[in-house]
Chains A and B, each alone.
Chain A
Amino acid sequence: MYPFGRGIARHLPLALLMIPLLLYVVFAFGPSMATVFFSFTDATGIPGVRWHFVGFDNYRKLLFSSDQAERLRSIRNSLEFAFLVVVIQNAIGLFMAVLLNRKLKGDAFYRATFFLPVVLGVTVSGLVWRMMLNPMSGPMGELFKMFGTRSNFLSSYDAAFYWIIFVQIWMYMGYSMTIFIAGLQSIPRDLYDSGHIDGASGWKAFRYITFPMIAPAVTVNTLLSIIGALQTFDIIYVLTNGGFNTRTLALDVYRDAIANNTTADYGLASAGAMVLFLFVFVFTVVFMYLLRRREVDL
């Protein structure tokens, strides 16, 4: 029987749903569509300045203009950043989840500690690591000195990008770990008992029981980290502001739109955002397809 009665009451849920739908259209879907539109214009965002349709000029500028070496490096950096973050963050997250899923003394404390950076947020984490990685007075510099070496860390053209990846993983590993722990805790104990009778223990139990059973958690973690990593700009902004070969596509979008000394180029920034969206979309769809195929049902 339909639970919402008759007359107005019957249609009220649908009417109420229109409000969030409208908010979504106005504040999310609409601006997204506007970005597509602006990517074909020379809009600067300055009131009173006329803008024009420029066809694919912004996309050409993004990929084939005289600074294409830097632009293409930004794209390559974005992809490398996403690849390393997805692989390492999830590998460490899974390892820590398996460790903490055992009945350890103080496991709740460890879980909270590893999750803490997620709560701290980007700015606090960024400032902490700026101090840690200060080559003149930071603890990392002192540690390197003990081993007879030194680094400029976040000011090194060779290393800064990888230090940012390290900080990103440090910040979000706890998030992946928590999702994996939730997945691990949903595995029925009797599967391991049956496996044990069949001779599956240790690595074999993980390989043939645990890993297939947490496939949904792997899917969620992978997709979230792909999307998050490709869109990352905040931690790069805080740590290096794109200097020392650390520019990514997402940071370029911000710089083109806002942090440009001469003028704001909304058209170019919108084209960059569209390319970024394309990457996110393609990777998400492909990985979702591949990972969902692996998931098993009880």
Chain B
Amino acid sequence: MFKKLVLLGLSLTVIFMLAACGGNNGNNGSASNPPDSGSSGSASPDSGSSNEKVTLKIIHWINEPVNKYYEEFNKKFTEKYPNIKVDYVTVPSDATYDQLQQTRINANDADLVALKSGFAPIPQEWAKGAEAPVWKQWIDAGLIMDLSGQDFVKNYNATDVENSTTYNGKVYGINMGKVSFTGLFYNKKIFADNGLQVPKTWDEFTKVVDTLKSKGIAPLGFAGKDIWPFNLAVQGLSATVHKDQAAFIKGLWDGSTKFTDPAQIEILSKAQYLLQNAIDGTMGVDYASLPSLFISGKVAMIADGTWNAPTIKSGDPSLEFGYFPIPGSNDAAQNASLAGKYDMSWMVLEKAKNKDAALKWLAMQSEPDHYAEFVKASGFLPNADVQIEDPFVNELKPYLQSFKLAWDQLFINRPNAGEHVSGSSVHAEFLAPAGPIKTPDELAALSQKEWDAAAPK
């Protein structure tokens, strides 16, 4: 009797727990009936499911202007589709989002997932042994829906779709636009008050820095605490010192170029110059505080991406500021364009419970009016021919005649590379006065040593 009771108790407990853990794995867990995806064509407003109430789950990271835009957009979407409730979740953009993204995709507990960029770096034949990017693993595992047949894809420039979210000839996401991050925001008033022009060469740039210093104004500010924002400036130097970054990176893999080459030493030397001329304590500034440092007028220039223009603007609408490419070389023509990346992309999960709702949401987002509003809110450079009346974006146009990808979008790393060459590989933050390494030559030699050590055996 006792044994039977214990067995019964155990069985009930196990059943209870399995039921609690199992969730809705099947396609019948949700109220919606997703249409046959992939080749189903457009997501017309009245296609697919009936008026059953469904909840569209979207995950995104915190970016205040963009989040505000989406909150408004989601209201309009719900007005148009009253049966679809939008659950729009945002978390900090650091590893918190990576964690959320990973767990939600693994648990199939989202319909629309934001990817932090376009599909980059693209895996290359010559990079043998490189780890596959996570988006490629998701696609290869069949977790991401093929959007190739959807009508709304045609709303975007074919070249941008091809370069941002196309893999193996299929479109697996909707990229929302490009951003540039190889320039510096500058305070127009400080420049005007001191008779300064936007520098077009490295020599002109150092003169600007010297003039500002002589007037007691801190020339530069970086969000050194988070490291990566400083490396945006270093990527600016790289984009203007190297004639062809992609060829240099390929050369690193086959040994024809090295981290100790003169071009790399020049980049590191100039990066050290930036650190030496930054405001005191710049290594303690975190990324969230950088706009306020700039808005307060404590520094004349900051290194940041164009995506932060709306934040600066909202911080002080009267502040006059502009953006120019870091002139890493003395060749004005080489310095004349900005580099960057394809920013956020939306992906629909292949096993999403509300695929139909997700497609409707993307279709509505892709309508020219809504997309134009998004571009205005985000500060992105559009992937579609929409008219944006934004003085900041218009001012950037001359620098965007030939948009090029930045170093970290092209660089493919070797697995287990040491810390001086890990991630996107150039780590000028190790240089004095920020870090413990005194000279660019020492850092370059260390980087090459670690790169060689990580070579596939």
Q: Do A and B bind each other?
A: yes
The reply to whether A155 and B224 contact each other, CB–CB distance below 8 Å, is: yes
Return the contact of B281 from the options A47, A66, A136, A259 (Cβ within 8 A): A136
**Is residue A264 contacting chain B, with contact meaning CB distance below 8 A?**
yes
Interface string of A197-232 (1 = CB under 8 A from B): 000000000000000000000000000000000000
Q: Which residues of A contact B417 (CB under 8 A)?
A: 66-67
The reply to whether A22 and B10 contact each other, CB–CB distance below 8 Å, is: yes
**Is residue A295 contacting chain B, with contact meaning CB distance below 8 A?**
no
Interface string of B256-295 (1 = CB under 8 A from A): 0000000000000000000000011111111000000100
B94 CB to closest chain A CB (Å) equals 7
Q: How far is the CA of A44 from the CA of B141 in the complex (A)?
A: 12
Interface string of A126-137 (1 = CB under 8 A from B): 000010011110
| Number of chain B residues whose Cβ lies closer than 8 Å to a Cβ of chain A | 55
Q: How far is the CA of A196 from the CA of B9 in the complex (A)?
A: 61
A8-B5, A65-B416, A261-B423 known; A46+B106 contact, CB < 8 A: yes
A14 CB to closest chain B CB (Å) equals 8
A47-B106, A47-B143, A158-B436 known; A262+B418 contact, CB < 8 A: no
The reply to whether A67 and B137 contact each other, CB–CB distance below 8 Å, is: no
A183 CB to closest chain B CB (Å) equals 39
A65-B416, A67-B416 known; A259+B284 contact, CB < 8 A: no
Interface residues of B in 92-138 (CB under 8 A from A): 94-95, 98-99, 102, 105-106, 108, 131-134, 137-138
Q: How far is the CA of A243 from the CA of B435 in the complex (A)?
A: 11
**Is residue B86 contacting chain A, with contact meaning CB distance below 8 A?**
no
A11-B2, A22-B13 known; A152+B281 contact, CB < 8 A: yes
Q: How far is the CA of A61 from the CA of B280 in the complex (A)?
A: 40
**Is residue A100 contacting chain B, with contact meaning CB distance below 8 A?**
no
B1 — nearest CB in chain A belongs to which residue?
A8
A66-B453, A135-B283 known; A258+B9 contact, CB < 8 A: no
**Is residue B6 contacting chain A, with contact meaning CB distance below 8 A?**
yes
Q: Which residues of A contact B434 (CB under 8 A)?
A: 152, 155
Q: How far is the CA of A4 from the CA of B123 in the complex (A)?
A: 69
A47-B141, A155-B225 known; A67+B419 contact, CB < 8 A: yes
The reply to whether A152 and B284 contact each other, CB–CB distance below 8 Å, is: yes
Label chain A's interface by main secondary structure.
Answer: loop
A67-B416, A67-B417 known; A19+B285 contact, CB < 8 A: no
The reply to whether A262 and B9 contact each other, CB–CB distance below 8 Å, is: no
A18-B6, A261-B423 known; A46+B99 contact, CB < 8 A: no
**Is residue B422 contacting chain A, with contact meaning CB distance below 8 A?**
yes
Return the contact of A15 from the options B6, B102, B283, B293 (Cβ within 8 A): B6
Q: Which residues of B contact A15 (CB under 8 A)?
A: 2, 5-6, 9
The reply to whether A135 and B418 contact each other, CB–CB distance below 8 Å, is: no
Q: Which residues of A contact B95 (CB under 8 A)?
A: 237, 241, 255, 258-259
Residue from B140, B283, B430, B454 having most chain A Cβ neighbours under 10 A: B283
Q: How far is the CA of A67 from the CA of B225 in the complex (A)?
A: 23
Interface string of A264-287 (1 = CB under 8 A from B): 100000000000000000000000
Q: How far is the CA of A241 from the CA of B133 in the complex (A)?
A: 22
**Is residue B227 contacting chain A, with contact meaning CB distance below 8 A?**
yes
**Is residue B19 contacting chain A, with contact meaning CB distance below 8 A?**
no
A230 CB to closest chain B CB (Å) equals 21
Interface residues of A in 148-193 (CB under 8 A from B): 150, 152-158
Q: How far is the CA of A69 from the CA of B450 in the complex (A)?
A: 10
A136 — nearest CB in chain B belongs to which residue?
B281
**Is residue B142 contacting chain A, with contact meaning CB distance below 8 A?**
yes
**Is residue B333 contacting chain A, with contact meaning CB distance below 8 A?**
no
The reply to whether B99 and A18 contact each other, CB–CB distance below 8 Å, is: no
Return the contact of A49 from the options B102, B131, B141 (Cβ within 8 A): B141
**Is residue B17 contacting chain A, with contact meaning CB distance below 8 A?**
yes
**Is residue B386 contacting chain A, with contact meaning CB distance below 8 A?**
no
Interface string of B276-319 (1 = CB under 8 A from A): 00011111111000000100000000000000000000000000
**Is residue B14 contacting chain A, with contact meaning CB distance below 8 A?**
yes
Residue from A8, A153, A243 having most chain B Cβ neighbours under 10 A: A243
A22-B13, A66-B417 known; A153+B284 contact, CB < 8 A: yes
Q: How far is the CA of A14 from the CA of B454 in the complex (A)?
A: 56
Q: Which residues of A contact B94 (CB under 8 A)?
A: 241, 259
6 tightest A-B CB contacts, nearest first = A259-B95, A135-B284, A48-B141, A135-B281, A136-B281, A155-B283
- Residue numbers of B with Cβ under 8 A of A are 1-2, 5-6, 9-10, 13-14, 17, 94-95, 98-99, 102, 105-106, 108, 131-134, 137-138, 140-143, 224-227, 279-286, 293, 413-414, 416-419, 422-423, 430, 434-436, 450, 453-454
List 26 A-B pairs, Cβ < 8 Å.
A8-B1, A8-B2, A11-B6, A14-B6, A18-B9, A48-B142, A49-B140, A66-B417, A67-B417, A70-B418, A134-B281, A134-B285, A135-B281, A136-B279, A136-B281, A136-B282, A136-B285, A141-B284, A152-B434, A155-B225, A157-B430, A157-B436, A243-B226, A261-B98, A262-B131, A263-B134
Add 8 more A-B contacts to A66-B417, A152-B284 (CB < 8 A): A23-B13, A44-B137, A45-B102, A45-B106, A46-B134, A66-B450, A136-B281, A264-B134
